[in-house]
């Protein structure tokens, strides 16, 4: 069964906008887990507008499921207290690190790695993360050239960037077919497949029915948006029902 990992960045963004402790990210995680979520994702950025390093440490201290920490592996320390991605991971030792090639000020992740250009820089980072006990997933565009090199670099998985699929509108079949090709190439290379970005209750089911053996979906923006109307626990349970239905089919 595909694991649903809840990205809580938007909860942290709302908290940070007021400067206090509410909404409580730790309590949001507890509600999501009680509703059946199988993992929690955080993407602490250098500008700290979303999840912050202390959020990672606090979650890791009690979380009974996998913590997935996303970030640019080459992001360094900033004056506001961000210690740099590798230092943050060394301290927290999350179950999984999802590496993304984001600029420090980027609004959201919107492209995967260039596996030819980035291979030499990624190799030692992947090795270090695995030495710290982290599973490594690399953010990947659909039909990415040389995506098989992710396996050569020592990565365990790729995460398919599903933004183009989610926004394909009338051409969703072609976008889904590209995701299928990408997943199959990765799996032939010995890589596991995760997916994320702009997946929601409407497009997740068709995605999972079409794309084989997806191990994990990381969903934040749409899920938290829907939870504003329907409640977090109810929304998590609805996503889990979509996943279960897709696997039964």
Task: Write the pLDDT tens digit of every residue in 137-184.
Answer: 999 999 999 999 999 999 999 999 999 999 996 688 999 999 999 999
7-38 burial string, b = 16+ CB within 10 Å, else e? bbbbbbeebeeeeeeebebbebbebbbebebb
CATH number, residue 68 = 3.20.20.70
Please tell me the predicted confidence (pLDDT) of residue 107. Answer: 64
Q: Which residues contact 162 (CB under 8 A, 6 or more apart)?
A: 179, 195, 196, 197, 198, 199, 207
| Strand pairing report for 214-219 and 192-196 | parallel
What domain range includes position 138? 3-248
Please tell me the predicted confidence (pLDDT) of residue 106. Answer: 65
Please tell me the predicted confidence (pLDDT) of residue 102. Answer: 79
| 70 carries an active-site annotation | yes
Under-70 pLDDT residues of the chain? 106-107, 110, 169-170
| 197 carries an active-site annotation | yes
Marked catalytic residue, from 116, 159, 167, 197: 197
Number of domains in the chain: 1
What kind and span of H or E run contains 194? strand 192-196
Please tell me the predicted confidence (pLDDT) of residue 8. Answer: 98
Please tell me the predicted confidence (pLDDT) of residue 110. Answer: 67
Please tell me the predicted confidence (pLDDT) of residue 35. Answer: 98
Marked catalytic residue, from 70, 159, 216, 226: 70
Question: What's the pTM value of the predicted model, to 2 decimals?
Answer: 0.95
């Amino acid at each position: 069964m595909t694991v649903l990992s809840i990205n809580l960045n938007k909860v942290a963004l709302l908290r940070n906008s007021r400067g206090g402790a509410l909404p409580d990210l730790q309590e949001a995680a507890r509600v999501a887990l009680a509703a059946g979520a199988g993992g929690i994702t955080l993407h602490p950025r250098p500008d700290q507008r979303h999840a912050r390093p202390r959020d990672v440490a606090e979650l890791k201290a009690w979380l009974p499921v996998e913590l997935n920490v996303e970030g640019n592996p080459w992001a360094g320390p900033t004056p506001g207290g961000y210690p740099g991605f590798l230092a943050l991971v060394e301290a927290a030792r999350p179950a999984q690190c999802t590496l993304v090639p984001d600029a420090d000020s980027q609004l959201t992740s919107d492209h995967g790695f260039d596996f030819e250009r980035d291979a030499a820089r990624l190799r030692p980072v992947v090795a270090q993360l695995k030495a710290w006990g982290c599973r490594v997933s690399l953010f990947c565009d659909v039909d990415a050239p040389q995506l098989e090199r992710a396996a050569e670099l020592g990565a365990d998985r790729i995460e398919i960037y599903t933004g183009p699929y989610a926004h394909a509108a009338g051409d969703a079949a072609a976008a889904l077919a590209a995701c299928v090709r990408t997943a199959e190439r990765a799996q032939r290379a010995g890589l596991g497949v995760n997916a994320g970005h702009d997946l929601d209750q409407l497009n997740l089911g068709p995605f999972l029915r079409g794309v084989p053996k997806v191990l994990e979906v990381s969903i934040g923006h749409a899920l938290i948006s829907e939870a504003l109307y329907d409640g977090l626990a109810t929304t998590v349970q609805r996503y889990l029902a979509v996943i279960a239905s897709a696997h039964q089919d």
